[in-house]
Structure 1
Amino acid sequence: MKKSIIIALVVALLFAGVNSFANSIDDQINKNQQELDDIKKRLNEGVESLDRNEGQQTDIEREVSALEREIRDREAKIVVLESDIVDTKLAIEVKEVELIEAEKEVQFQNDRMEKRLRTMYKSGNFGYLEVMLGAADFTDLLTRVDKIQMLLDYDQETLLALIEAREFVVQRKEELENYRLKLEADKVEVQLEKVKLQASVNVLEEKKVLLQQDHKALSNQLNELNKDADKITSILKDLELRKKYVGGKMMWPLDLSHTSISSPFGERMHPILLTLKLHTGIDVRAPKGAAVYAAQSGQVIYSDWLGSYGMAVMIDHGGGIITLYGHNSALLVSPGTEVKKGDAIAKVGSTGRSTGNHLHFEVRVAGDYVDPYDYVTNPSN
């Protein structure tokens, strides 16, 4: 009697130890999972920050490009203005020469007319008397008087024309001077615009440098977070392996009328890619819509489209063991759902990279693909 009591106590203690060990592992898994979730959250935030940073850098590059185009436009305007200023200065120099020549002509004509007038003044009436006495007749006299008057009129008209020409040159020179001053002012204004634009470019370039520094710092932080995530993932993998799988033999994931294998586990020539690849599970022929069952109890960790697997379900059975059911036409469970062995979880289909209706069934241990026949028995064998 005492012996049986002692044995019972030992068994109880053993179970208590096992439960305590399991609880300890679960606690460690939960703790590490929370830490991993926190790291993933920070990673997502970091990636978003990087995206924003890169977007801001792109915006700055666009702004700088636009400003540099404006700067080139101002530089081209300055070149044109400088060319116009040179041409205007040359034109002014020409007008200055013309003005000197015009003033000489005016002075010469003025001197000649004054000389003629002085001569006539000194001659007085005698000069006119000579003209009158020297005339052959009255008609000749009138002709001689007209010629004298015409000569005087010509001198005066010539002088006035020269003065007018000189005034025109002076006016044109003033216009050119004013135009040159305007060109100089325009040049200064455009140069100021260029300076302001360059200052804006410099400010943006400084912002870009700061963003690049932030980008580098963020990238380094993300690298460290990824290292931490890898480390914790490795710890979780080890902890999952330390958890004892108590599920026992798995059940066939389809009705017993569907047991024909179209492709076993192992190396094979891929029917679509036509390359030698590891077939990571077994393919079981079944009609579209046939029920797919959970091979063992566990928690659904994925139920959605999964690349080449198409519509897929993944179930975690503990102990690092996960089963996958691929190419379904419909999914009947959602992530987080606790399922029991034999629960319907999907319907057979041909979604994803598939050549026909079938179930792709996988078993993974600690992330590694294993032959499903190590865990499930084909009822047709």
Structure 2
Amino acid sequence: MIIKKLAIIGASYLQLPLVKKAKEMGIETHCFAWREGAVCADVADFFYPISIVEKDEILKKCQEIGIDGITTIASDTAVVTVNYVASRMGLLSNPDDYSEVTTNKYKMRQCFLENDVPSPKFTLVEDANHYQISGFRFPLIVKPTDRSGSRGVEKVLDPVQLEEAIVRAQKESFEHKAIIEEFVTGKEISVESISFEGKHYILQITDKVTTGAPFFVELEHHQPSSLPDDIKEQVCKIVLNALDALHIQYGAGHSELKITENGDIKVIEIGARMGGDFIGSNLVQLSTGYDFLKGVIEVSLGDFHEPKIIEQHYSGVYFLSEETQYLKPIIEHWCDYPEILEAEINNEELRRVECSGDRSGYLIYQSDKKYKI
């Protein structure tokens, strides 16, 4: 029996479900990441302490190993390396030429503009002392061009706050650039999808609850979305067009959108990867029965099977922070709640969150009806 070899870029807790799933499937796992925080190092069959941005070094090692596929979940930075290595080894991935478009918010906005994908008005800031916002009205949103997890994202109300937010966003950015966007109010959702050979399959739509201004860090995710069916249909049509525009042909997709009170739909950003926060790794399978992790692995190995939605449940995740301290006793006694499948407190200190890394714990649920804590 020939054992398939899978390279996984990243080894933090975000990749752990992927490593475990691959091993469950009888696949030999090869993980690449810094040693610090590499919880997958002791789980994967092989671990290589190579930074995920060291593309050529990872390529060389993957060629030595003779991998059959390469993938990642929930990491924009790792996506670039996946596409780079795969394209040079003749493996399945999205086009390397479009890696930056799917990981850089400014270039993504440009792509949306060129392909009639509805999205917020925007402008690039390369120099904190020189930027153009004529035609914009406050409030505005400032973001690093190339980070995820709400790092450096901030709503600003006036020019003074804008200058300060630009400096913070540029410090967070790998390329030291920021993007200014018009502020879109409305319901936040994400669309979870998987693609193979350019055909896209919508798996689920997720409702989001955030901290709100100024940092908009996610505190809850719930599936399926409570949107009316006609709006869901419009959302899916827009997302399919956006996935095509970004040349996403293989693997998971995580599309974030806002729907205004007037019913306007705006694409905020799209990741050529699973959604983090347990959305892709846990919630999709809990709400639909479709094994999303297995599907992503099969795509990377060229053995894809069309998704079948075999179940309909409600699933979701709540995150613990100072804003949600009411969750602490529930998480501490989560076994008393039959709907809660998993819960953990990883930091006893409850902080007000400015990015997803500030959250102190979580609980994941599955229910046959809407579950509100």
Do the two structures share a fold, i.e. TM-score over 0.5?
no
Greater share of residues in helix: 1
TM-score (norm. length: structure 1): 0.18
Structure index of larger Rg: 1
Structure with the bigger RCO (C-alpha within 8 Å, sep 6+) is: 1
Larger relative strand fraction = 2
